[in-house]
Amino acid sequence: MQSMQFTLAELAKLIGAELKGDEGRAITGIAPLQTATSSEISFLHNSRYRKYLSSTKAAAVILSPADAKFCQIDALVVRNPYLAFAKAADLFAYRPKHTTGIHPTAIIGENCQIDPTASIGPYCVIGENVTIQKGCIIGAGCIIGNHVSIDENTQLWPRVTLYYGVKIGARVIIHSGVVIGSDGFGLARDNNQWVKIPQIGSVIIHNDVEIGANTTIDRGALGDTVIEEGVKLDNQIQVAHNVHIGAHTAVAGCVGISGSAQIGRHCMIGGGSCIGGHLKIADQVVIAGMAMITNSIEEAGVYASGTGFLKQRDWQKSAVRFRQLDQLARRIKKIEEKTK
């Protein structure tokens, strides 16, 4: 493990904070208020944890101007403590060392273009006509199909699988177990049998995307499945064929997104939610966890659902009634007022 050390003055400059305290105090790590030691920095973002300020052993605390008056130790004062915490944590984050070049156990196909600054780990299998740009890190046991392109400074953690023709942008992080480019769930019925529809599109991942462990992204049936820049996908998400996710949208774990759904920019999708196929979700939409989205969302806002399961026809009737409840309640209130 790397050992990192910064003075409070250095940290203040790096995260854009106002320093109140000893400029030369050495900081070797970051930890919660309750467990931080005298050489570690902590942070306060949620006021419910303010009670720990009086007892913390931390060397200093990252906090807002409103909370600074309650702090009796050194402090780094910022408008957004959570963002500042993220920047500070990045400075202390563990980063495994990688050796540039191709490990001797890796299998490389013909006509590949692999930048000499890239790192290809043990037991990787790379197909033909693959392009891997400078600074890329391909972890042990990754499988990369034919005609895949990976832009600069992208990292694949061990055992990632990229099917043929997939395009990955720059500075993308893909965690272990991710599968990108497998066939979408396309079937046509022939009497009592299913006929597979060939999935001849691909997957395009734009710059600065992060994809969590064991998430799967299917290739398009005709066009491509597209993940725009800055999208953050949690673990164990299913992205079906021809889905389009707009820039800087964040999707929490175990979400299922059905085929051809279009999700806007800067959305937040709560864990366990299900999004139906061929729907459109506007920009700046927040969907609460476990929600079931069965119709397009055309306006920004916060949306939720959570009624219990029923037979489909009963559920559809109940959904209509549910939408009428507010109007019905208002009518009842007017009747009650008239009868008083």
Task: Provide the annotated active-site residues.
Answer: 241
Sheet hosting strand 155-156, strand order edge to edge: 101-102, 119-120, 137-138, 155-156, 173-174, 210-211, 232-233, 250-251, 268-269, 285-287, 301-303
Cα–Cα distance measured from residue 136 to residue 73, given in angstroms and rounded to the nearest whole number: 42
Which two three-digit tokens encode residue 180?
A: 């990108």
Cα–Cα distance measured from residue 187 to residue 169, given in angstroms and rounded to the nearest whole number: 30
Which two three-digit tokens encode residue 303?
A: 């949306």
DSSP letter at 225 equals E
Pairs from 20-26 (Cβ < 8 Å, separation ≥ 24): 20/68, 20/74, 20/75, 20/76, 20/77, 21/60, 21/73, 21/74, 21/75, 22/74, 25/59, 25/60, 25/74, 26/59
State phi, psi for 317 to the nearest 5 degrees.
-65, -45
| Cα 18 off chain centre by | 30
* Cα→Cα distances 142→172, 255, 257, 313, Å: 15, 25, 25, 46
Which two three-digit tokens encode residue 127?
A: 């197909």
Q: In terms of DSSP bridges, do strands 161-162 and 143-144 run parallel, antiparallel, or are they unpaired?
A: parallel
Q: Is 324 exposed, middle or buried (0-12, 13-18, 19+ CB in 10 A)?
A: exposed
Rg (CA), the chain: 25
184: helix, strand or coil: coil
Sign (positive or negative) of CA dihedral 61, 65, 71, 76: positive
DSSP letter at 50 equals G
